[in-house]
Amino acid sequence: MPVQHLQRSAPEAGTAREPLPRAPEPRSASPIAPETLRTDEPAAPGLRDLDRMMRATAAGLSGGRSPVSLFLAAIDWASHLALAPTLQQRLAVLAAERSVELFRYALTCAIEDAAEPAPCVSSLPQDRRFADPAWSRWPFNVIHQAFLMQEHWWEQATANVPGVTRHNAQAVSFMARQVLDLCAPSNFPATNPVVLRRTFESGGRNMRDGLAHLTEDIRRLVTHEPPVGAEAFKVGETVACTPGAVIFRNELIELIQYTPTTAAVHPEPILIVPAWIMKYYILDLSPDNSLVRYLVQRGHTVFMISWRNPQPEHRNLGMDDYLSLGIDAAIATVKEIVPGQPIHGVGYCLGGTLLAMAAAALGRRNDETLKTLTLLAAQTDFADAGELTLFIDESQVTFLEDMMWKKGLLEARQMAGAFQLLRSNDLIWSRLVRDYLLGERATISDLMAWSGDATRMPYRMHSEYLRRLFLNNDLAAGRYVVDGAPISISSIQVPMFVVGTEWDHIAPWQSVYKIHLQADVDITFALTSGGHNAGIVNPPGSLKRQFRVGYHPHETPYVSPENWRERNKPTPGSWWTAWAEWLKQNSSAPVAPPPLGLAHSGTLAPAPGSYVLDQ
């Protein structure tokens, strides 16, 4: 399809569209006569807007969370717990046993010259709050053991109440964890031995430095400046600096083509579709961490989509626009530059989900545009979509929709705040202790600087994404409609390389692994150490990283995630090397590089372009 037609096919930003789809409202069960009150008839526009304004105001005051959703979750849990006297008894017995155990531990610790007793409760491997040896000395050993016991008790109290819906149980557990993380003894100078030691040794200098750090951070927050140290990573100079050019631009994307560095390249180009929730250059960080540079140096012609950071006037851009103005337009441009060659499609996170949808639509038409498909931490089934589902239910999405309706978009800080809450220990409280109580500043990395460069979400697209993918799981169920007909992942007809990360709280690797149940093609699956971002940005050379990789022909029986993990032993190093070899095996012999840019328009600007700089 010509690029020009793709640009005309989507409505212009800001034009009116039909209202977003909503779940049908039930008829009233009230004895009032139908002619007096009809709840199945739409309210007058002004009254409907008043309702939405009320919900938008409430969502703004609650940080974007639906207070109704939280209240209902708490009521569901408390009501079922009240109707479970046996469980109440078990919890009371557990509390009593833990209290006696703690008393014995404290008594043993208080006896002079007594050997240090074994702890009653151990921290989780990823919890480093009490790792310093100072926490093993009296009275701080008793303090932190009491806290860990509280955590364990609340975990039992929130996770095992019969009758509570899974979503509500997770929500209550999440709320309890946030309160406990707030009240952890590591957060207060008087109960943190590491802070007390630093204060004594420095004569209070750490507190003075911490106050200076706090003042600086508040100033930067108010003036919308990046975090301290992020200035060292300037887009186009120290990050996103792989040479190339913008060769195509429309209202939604810039398409970057990277300059070849080898005399010959594989004829099949690579098109990378990043997530639009953040800037594209997570895949092109500093030169040593750049996946783009790694591919170019291995003889690939690489194209990258750079999504525009939406403004309020883009409120009506929807998922169909992200497909047509995004992926379809990029594919059409790549085919003009490299005619007659199939494309290696690569999608990261939400970009991978969108690319899988485009690949399914192509497969439905028996279109041979793609040669392979690579999905990086991308889900195609959202039934078990990780802890993000804590923020997604009917009430929550309704409040978010109304908050976005008021502004035309979802602010970047609101999305970033949700991600931080999912790992509050690592991303909030540990940082506050280090920066403000210990008076230290951690050296910021290119990945950390990128994470502070967030983007906004258009009202319509984000609403459709949350409802159709998360709430309704339409893609996995075969209900998602593209070009007037539903698509199915089983329509994809090219081999796939799929990557999951072990500690991913956004796209759990077991959820990513579900592609084996959906696709009827050969799948190479890799499981790498690290989280959602650090696991993907995993260049060769790190001695701390490892990965597992396994090949699953489409005609062989399904293997569960647990059995797959057991069968495929870890290999030290980066999954990049295994993927590079897989790409090489699925590519033809190298030829002369294609021209840089379109024949009729050349290049528009040097990489990284202008859209990535939008704030």
Same domain, 476 and 592: yes
Q: pLDDT value at position 57?
A: 72
Q: Are residues 268 and 154 in the same domain?
A: no
Q: Is residue 440, in this structure, part of any structural domain at all?
A: no
Q: Does the pLDDT at position 13 exceed 80?
A: no
Lowest mean pLDDT among 166-175, 417-426, 468-477, 573-582: 417-426
Which of 183, 200, 217 lies at the terminal end of a domain, its last residue? Answer: 183
Report the number of distinct structural domains present in the chain.
2
pTM summary value: 0.84
Reported as a single tens digit per residue, the pLDDT across 470-496 is: 889 999 999 999 999 999 999 999 999
Q: Tens digits of per-residue pLDDT, 172-183?
A: 998 898 899 999
Find the angle CA(218)-CA(63)-CA(511) to the nearest 5 degrees: 110
pLDDT confidence of residue 37: 36
Q: What is the pLDDT of residue 47?
A: 64
Q: Are residues 373 and 495 in the same domain?
A: yes
For residue 219, tell me if it sits in a domain: no
Q: Judge if 305 and 170 occupy the same domain.
A: no
Q: 183, 199, 234 — which closes off a domain?
A: 183
Nearest alpha-carbon partner for 574 in 548, 601, 600, 613: 548
Domain that holds residue 156: 71-183
Look at residue 257 and tell me if it is in a domain: yes
- Same domain? 76 vs 164: yes
Based on the domain organization, do 259 and 403 belong to the same domain? yes
| 272 CB burial (10 A radius; 0-12, 13-18, 19+) | buried
What CATH number corresponds to the domain at position 308? 3.40.50.1820
pLDDT digits (tens, 9 = 90+) for 584-605: 999 999 999 999 999 888 899 9
Lowest pLDDT segment from 166-175, 553-562, 586-595: 166-175
For 424-453, the DSSP string reads HIIIIIHHHIIIIIS---PPPPHHHHHHTS
pLDDT score for 82? 95
Structural contact between residues 330 and 247, judged by C-beta atoms closer than 8 angstroms:
no
- Arithmetic mean of pLDDT, 141-165: 92
Return the pLDDT at 68. Answer: 82
In a shared domain, residues 517 and 608: yes
Judge whether 383 lies within some domain: yes
Residue 479's CB: how many other CB atoms inside 10 A? Answer: 13
Cβ(578)–Cβ(497) below 8 Å: no
**What confidence tier does 119 reach under pLDDT thresholds 50, 70, 90?**
confident
Residue 99 lies in a domain: yes
Shared domain for 172 and 251, answered yes or no, is no
Terminal CA-to-CA distance of the chain, rounded, Å?
A: 32
Confidence band, pLDDT 50/70/90 cuts, at residue 613? very high
CA nearest neighbour of 535 among 567, 495, 507, 564? 507
- Kindly state whether residue 239 falls inside one of the protein's structural domains: no
The per-residue pLDDT for range 122-150, each reduced to its tens digit, is 877 778 889 899 998 888 999 999 999 99
Residues 175 and 308 in one domain: no
Strand partners, 571: 547
Active site residue 120: no
Q: Are 588 and 229 in contact (CB under 8 A)?
A: no
Q: Do 177 and 285 share a domain, yes or no?
A: no
Mean pLDDT, range 418-434, rounded to an integer: 73
Domain boundary among 163, 183, 203: 183
Model pLDDT, residue 31? 36
The SS3 of residue 255 is: strand
- The average confidence (pLDDT) of the chain is 86
- For residue 331, count other CB atoms closer than 10 A to its CB: 24
Clarify whether residues 172 and 279 are in a common domain.
Answer: no
* pLDDT value, residue 243: 97
Please report the pLDDT score of residue 65 as a whole number. 72
HSE, side-chain direction, 13 A CA sphere, residue 609: 28
Residue 438 within any structural domain of the chain? no
Which residues are registered as beta bridge partners of 344? 270, 372
- In a domain, residue 394? The reply is yes
**464 and 549 together in one domain:** yes
Looking at the chain, the number of H-run helices and the number of E-run strands are 23, 15
User: Span 520-536, mean pLDDT?
Assistant: 94
